[in-house]
Amino acid sequence: MSCSSCKPSLPGPALVNEGDEHPEFPSSSTNPCKLCTPLGACLAFKGIAGTVPLLHGSQGCATYIRRYMISHFREPVDIASSNFSEDSAVFGGRKNLHTALENVTRQYKPAMVGVATTCLSETMGENMPMLLGEYRAEATQEGQPALVHVSTPSFKGTHAEGFHAAVRAIVETLAAPRSTLERLAPIALMPGMVSPADLRHLRDLVSWWGVPATFVPDYSETLDGGSWSNYERMPSGGTSLDEIRALGSARATIECGLVLAGEKSTAGTHLAAKFGVRLHRLGLPIGLRQTDLFCGAMEEAANAVIPERVERERGRLIDAYVDAHKYLSGRKAIVYGEEDLVASLAVFLAEIGVWPVLCAAGGRSGRLESAILGAAPELKGRIEVREGSDFGEIETQIAELKPDLLIGSSKGYKLARSLGLPLVRCGFPVHDRIGSQRIQMLGYTGTLQLFDCIVNALLEKKQEDSEIGYSYL
């Protein structure tokens, strides 16, 4: 099956269909600002302890996703596949799925198998609830894992949508009511698609309030662990199934994502509707405003004031803003990637004086612009927001917008290089640098890291462009 994700760079001119509303922006994609939907689901499944992701479809999809994740996280990533052949594409993949589940159960002894569909099985219209129900009824092996299924048709979704859909499926399948409230009920935290280092930092930050928190998912160890003396078939770490089951009695949910906040059906809305868990919907805590809101939600959920060390981190960030404002004021940036990241980065850039002239995302939620302007009203009328965007479209606008830098994944490198612009790498994927799993953006401290990268990228450019070569800037 041909897809824009597994064939990211299309050489030659993009096609323009007759009657296109915007003929200058072709209806086909040239290197889109999004990736394959089941990739996001696999990432979410990697954050659940003892879980094996399984793709119902062709082996090539699993290979492509593994390659993308391994090159970003630099860790082994096992993804099983039901390995469709021509026969399965014609007669259905029931037998393949059941064989795959038996093999995975025997070889890995997993606590859970996360089953995601590929473009092929989605196009065929495989009845996954029925196939999985039949497997459960017929399975004879001891120790059957929990099965969580998520529908991830990549021809109409993005990696971020696959990620959020998998988080929702995990919580919907596992979270259970409790007869009595836990003595120390956890906060349910849905951090969004962030780096392992950001997950670790968020976990520390939340722990300073003195209440437990259950992250769904938490791949901070499974995708960024230490070296092993002996090979581990399933890396340790991740949120346990019992922790997720206990979320029926969570004290509150904090769900991160400015665009996600407009979605009717999420893990957070499920906990709210089914168990009455209070839902806080916020942007990714990048920058002062958005981290302040996160801390405000924590204050309310934990019923405790902001810890002093958090206040100190906040102070350091403000100090950095003051130190560097003269280098940033009036600079222009193009931000691209998945919608929630683009939205939160735009809000952050606005507060440090950088103008996000173009905000381009691969998703098509219809909410990106309102999400940005709702959180940063000062940007109204001053930015271009593009959904379903690709690098071909970004390139056509660059000459007019004259940005000073690009911010996003390594997929923007060719463009940045051809224009001689600095690229600040963040998000997924970053395939041309070491340390992608340790890129930090969240909280006051993570923002400080990102802030330094942005300022230094601009200073480096200024220095390199200068004939004099100033060493004191």
Q: With respect to ligand SF4, which residue has the nearer C-beta, 159 or 201?
A: 159
Q: With respect to ligand SF4, which residue has the nearer C-beta, 1 or 306?
A: 1
What is the smallest separation between the CB atom of 278 and ligand SF4, expressed in angstroms?
Answer: 36
Q: With respect to ligand SF4, which residue has the nearer C-beta, 5 or 291?
A: 5
By CB under 6 A, residue 38 contacts ligand SF4: yes
Q: Which of 3, 89, 272, 401 binds ligand SF4 (CB under 6 A)?
A: 3
Q: How far apart are the first and last CA of the chain?
A: 53
Q: With respect to ligand SF4, which residue has the nearer C-beta, 32 or 192?
A: 32
Which span (1-9, 92-100, 274-282, 368-376) binds ligand SF4, by CB under 6 A?
Answer: 1-9
Q: Which of 43, 56, 64, 199 binds ligand SF4 (CB under 6 A)?
A: 64
Which span (2-10, 86-94, 289-297, 342-350) binds ligand SF4, by CB under 6 A?
Answer: 2-10
By CB under 6 A, residue 409 contacts ligand SF4: no
Long-range contacts of 58-63 (CB under 8 A, 24+ apart): 58/1, 58/83, 58/84, 58/118, 58/120, 59/83, 59/84, 60/6, 61/6, 61/36, 61/118, 61/119, 61/120
By CB under 6 A, residue 397 contacts ligand SF4: no
State whether the Cα torsion 65-71-73-77 is positive or negative: positive
Longest dimension (CA), the chain: 76
Measured N-to-C along each axis, helices 339-351 and 159-174 cross at an angle, to the nearest 10 degrees, of 110
What is the smallest separation between the CB atom of 388 and ligand SF4, expressed in angstroms?
Answer: 15
The pair of three-digit structure tokens given for residue 263, joined into one six-digit string: 């979605």
Report whether 126 contacts 117 (CB < 8 A).
yes
Report whether 450 contacts 441 (CB < 8 A).
yes
Task: Name which of residues 44 to 63 contact ligand SF4 (CB under 6 A).
Answer: 61
By CB under 6 A, residue 163 contacts ligand SF4: no
By CB under 6 A, residue 89 contacts ligand SF4: no
Report whether 254 contacts 189 (CB < 8 A).
yes
By CB under 6 A, residue 154 contacts ligand SF4: yes
Task: Name which of residues 103 to 122 contact ligand SF4 (CB under 6 A).
Answer: 118-119
Interface size with ligand SF4, residues (CB under 6 A): 11
What is the smallest separation between the CB atom of 198 and ligand SF4, expressed in angstroms?
Answer: 25
Residues 6+ apart with CB under 8 A from 436: 72, 73, 74, 195, 425, 428, 429, 430
Beta-strand pair 213-215/187-190 = parallel
The pair of three-digit structure tokens given for residue 176, joined into one six-digit string: 């259970």
What is the smallest separation between the CB atom of 40 and ligand SF4, expressed in angstroms?
Answer: 10
Around Cβ 172, how many Cβ atoms within 10 Å? 16
By CB under 6 A, residue 36 contacts ligand SF4: yes
State whether the Cα torsion 298-299-303-304 is positive or negative: positive
What is the smallest separation between the CB atom of 305 and ligand SF4, expressed in angstroms?
Answer: 46
Report whether 252 contacts 278 (CB < 8 A).
yes
Q: With respect to ligand SF4, which residue has the nearer C-beta, 122 or 218?
A: 122
Which span (3-11, 221-229, 281-289, 390-398) binds ligand SF4, by CB under 6 A?
Answer: 3-11
By CB under 6 A, residue 5 contacts ligand SF4: yes
| Distance (Å, whole) CA 298 – CA 321 | 24
Residues lying near ligand SF4 in the complex (CB under 6 A)? 1, 3, 5-6, 36, 38, 61, 64, 118-119, 154
